[in-house]
Amino acid sequence: MTSGSEPNATDHPSNPGSAFQSGETKILIEQGYDKIAPAYLAWSAPRTTTTRMSYLNKLMTFLPPSAHVLELGCGAGVPCTQSLISHGMNVTGVDISAAQIALAHEHVPEATLIQADMMSLSFQPSTFDAVVAFYSIFHLPQEEQGKMIGRIQGWLKEGGWLLCNFHTDRGDNWRENWFSPGVTMFSSGLGVHGNRVMFMQDGYGLTVVEDQVAVEKVGRAEETFHWILAVKREKVEDNLHPFDRE
């Protein structure tokens, strides 16, 4: 959903603010993206991040023709949903923001688009050949991120792929006046070690193929994200993570 630091935003890593304290974090996220969706698209579209597209292109080489792909946090469908569709994939895109989904209908009418909190989703086991989640899972509270990984594992077919990224720092973060005055955006991280522990505990049926901490330059801003590419293996005992190997 979000891929860079907007220049006028102010980060507050520890003060949640009254909205968070009243348990309205997801409403903040939904309303925030509803308000800034066109401005965010205008800012982000010409600033495609090379790490994301490199991983996406690699993932598509692993997928069968007409693969079924779930994109969590599809936003306006630019550029990743568009790329998947152009390569013949059957894409289900999900975003919490109605405004983002409306834009996605304009840019990727071929996709199946759902406005929902990703934690409310329900799919049959072994539905998807791949799940991608770019800059989106970290909008969930820390305690929900591992649950999300566990659900994704169930939705993947055997041999299916998960490509996602996370914050590298541990803790909650609020960005005030994010792209627009009065918009507060929430995200949260477990830290690199915490992400790896989460995959071992909640993604036990997934084999991590690539694990990279990468610095991305988006416009004038630089941010670091933790990227993970994993595959669902039939035998859980074969699930050796790169950071466990000697």
The DSSP letter of residue 137 is G
pLDDT at residue number 221: 78
pLDDT of residue 155: 98
pLDDT of residue 18 exceeding 80, the answer is no
Instruction: Identify whether the C-beta of residue 81 lies closer than 8 Å to the C-beta of residue 74.
Output: yes
User: How far is it, in rounded angstroms, from Cα 195 to Cα 188?
Assistant: 12
Among the listed residues 89, 138, 100, 144, the one whose alpha carbon sits nearest the alpha carbon of residue 121: 144
Q: What is the pLDDT of residue 12?
A: 59
For residue 158, count other CB atoms closer than 10 A to its CB. 11
**End-to-end C-alpha distance for the chain, whole angstroms:** 35
pLDDT of residue 19: 42
pLDDT confidence band for 244 (50 / 70 / 90): very low
* pLDDT band at residue 243 under the 50/70/90 scheme: very low
| Confidence at residue 47, expressed as pLDDT on a 0 to 100 scale | 81
Residue 161 contacts residue 230 (beta carbons within 8 Å): yes
Topology classification of domain 10-244: Rossmann fold (3.40.50)
Q: Tell me which amino acid residue 29 is.
A: I
**What is the average pLDDT across 6-13?**
58
Burial of 62 (0-12, 13-18, 19+ CB in 10 A): middle
pTM: 0.89
Look at residue 92 and give its three-state secondary structure: strand
Q: Can you tell me the distance from the alpha carbon of 100 to that of 29, in angstroms, rounded to the nearest whole number?
A: 12
User: In sequence order, which residues have a C-beta less than 8 Å from that of residue 24 and are 6 or more positions away?
Assistant: none
Cα–Cα distance for residue pair 15/95, rounded to 1 Å: 26
Q: Where are the domains of the chain?
A: 10-244
Helix (H, G, I), strand (E, B) or coil at 82: helix
* Residue 58, token pair as written in the block: 């690699």
